[in-house]
Amino acid sequence: MPDIGQLREEYINDGLSREQLNASPIEQFRAWFSQAQKAELPEPNAMTLATVDSEGQPWQRIVLLKAYDEKGFVFYTNYESSKSKEIEGNSQVSLHFPWIALSRQVAITGKAEKVSTTESLRYFVSRPFGSRLGAWVSQQSKVISSRNVLEMKLQELKAKFKDGEVPLPSFWGGYRVDPETMEFWQGGANRLHDRFLYKKQIDGDWEIARLSP
Ligand SMILES: Cc1cc2nc3c(=O)[nH]c(=O)nc-3n(C[C@H](O)[C@H](O)[C@H](O)COP(=O)(O)O)c2cc1C
């Protein structure tokens, strides 16, 4: 087994130039996201969400990106989970997409805000029956005595909602992260990687800076 200190990949690709960049980071994200899909990366919409708690302690976990546009990046979760409590206390969050097989990463910072109930409902009804039940079953982030608690609750809910009509739980829904900065990182040969940081200006325009790798 090689020493992990010696594990390194040489990134051989065309790099990223300023001319290739879209003036809009959302459009740039769209291009990269579609390339990640074409490359058949596993779960390209899996992103790490970082939040900070009331003591300044950062926490991270993966959530799935379910929609994005100029208004922001949307994920769904339990509104009583640890992450949601952290967002209620401090809405500044960070998202990170690790598209390692393409020698790429995208890092986003911004403010998270709940989406409307209508928007959550629209997404909720599109989920498979099991996922809709799952939202009801889990008191996300709470301590439970055993897995059995979940299995029993699931059976109970299956019986309760056997007609397939599962209502949207009041404690479940989406957050939209309105981006303030977006960094696109492309690995290059000899560790001369390309990094471009988009920063939203007060007038809504995006300023682009090249960062040293
Ligand atoms: C691939 C993957 C996708 C996930 N997607 C979601 C998601 O979309 N929403 C969610 O609430 N949790 C998702 N999770 C679980 C979270 O990572 C996390 O464990 C959970 O939300 C509780 O986080 P918290 O206690 O920090 O609030 C996912 C986990 C993995 C590994």
pLDDT digits (tens), the chain, 213 positions: 778 888 877 666 678 889 989 999 999 999 999 999 999 999 999 999 999 999 999 999 999 999 999 999 999 999 999 999 999 999 999 999 999 999 999 999 999 999 999 999 999 999 999 999 999 999 999 999 999 999 999 999 999 999 889 999 999 999 999 999 999 999 988 778 999 999 999 999 999 999 999
Given this model, what pLDDT does residue 7 score?
Answer: 80
Given this model, what pLDDT does residue 23 score?
Answer: 96
State phi, psi for 115 to the nearest 5 degrees. Answer: -80, 170
Going by alpha carbons, the residue nearest to atom 5 of ligand 1 is: 63
CA dihedral sign of residues 93, 64, 176, 208: positive
Given this model, what pLDDT does residue 52 score?
Answer: 98
Q: What is the DSSP string of 128-164?
A: -HHHHHHHHH--TT---S-HHHHHHHHHHHHHHTTTS
How far apart are the C-alpha atoms of 88 and 112, rounded to whole Å? 9
Given this model, what pLDDT does residue 97 score?
Answer: 98
Looking at residue 61, its amino acid is: R
Give Cβ neighbours of residue 57 (< 8 Å, ≥ 6 apart). none
Q: Which atom of ligand 1 is nearest to the CA of 82?
A: 27
Going by alpha carbons, the residue nearest to atom 12 of ligand 1 is: 63
Given this model, what pLDDT does residue 136 score?
Answer: 96
The rounded Å distance from CA 61 to ligand 1 centre is 6
pTM above 0.75, yes or no: yes
How far apart are the C-alpha atoms of 10 and 189, rounded to whole Å? 6
User: SS3 for 204?
Assistant: coil
Given this model, what pLDDT does residue 192 score?
Answer: 87
Q: Is 12 in the pocket of ligand 1 (CB under 6 A)?
A: no
Q: Which atom of ligand 1 is nearest to the CA of 61?
A: 17
How far apart are the C-alpha atoms of 95 and 93, rounded to whole Å? 7
Q: Is 81 in the pocket of ligand 1 (CB under 6 A)?
A: yes
Q: What's the Cα-to-Cα distance from 82 to each of 97, 118, 153, rounded to whole Å?
A: 21, 24, 21
Write down the residue that tokens 């993966």 correspond to: 62
Token pair for 88: 């209620």
Q: Is 75 in the pocket of ligand 1 (CB under 6 A)?
A: yes
Half-sphere exposure of 73 (CA within 13 A, CB side): 30
How far apart are the C-alpha atoms of 96 and 148, rounded to whole Å? 34
Output DSSP code: residue 102: G
191 is catalytic: yes
- Are residues 197 and 208 in contact, defined by beta-carbon separation less than 8 angstroms? yes
Given this model, what pLDDT does residue 12 score?
Answer: 62
How far the first Cα of the chain sits from its last, in Å, is 29
The verdict on domain 10-125+170-211 having CATH code 2.60.40.1180 is no
- Are residues 104 and 185 in contact, defined by beta-carbon separation less than 8 angstroms? yes
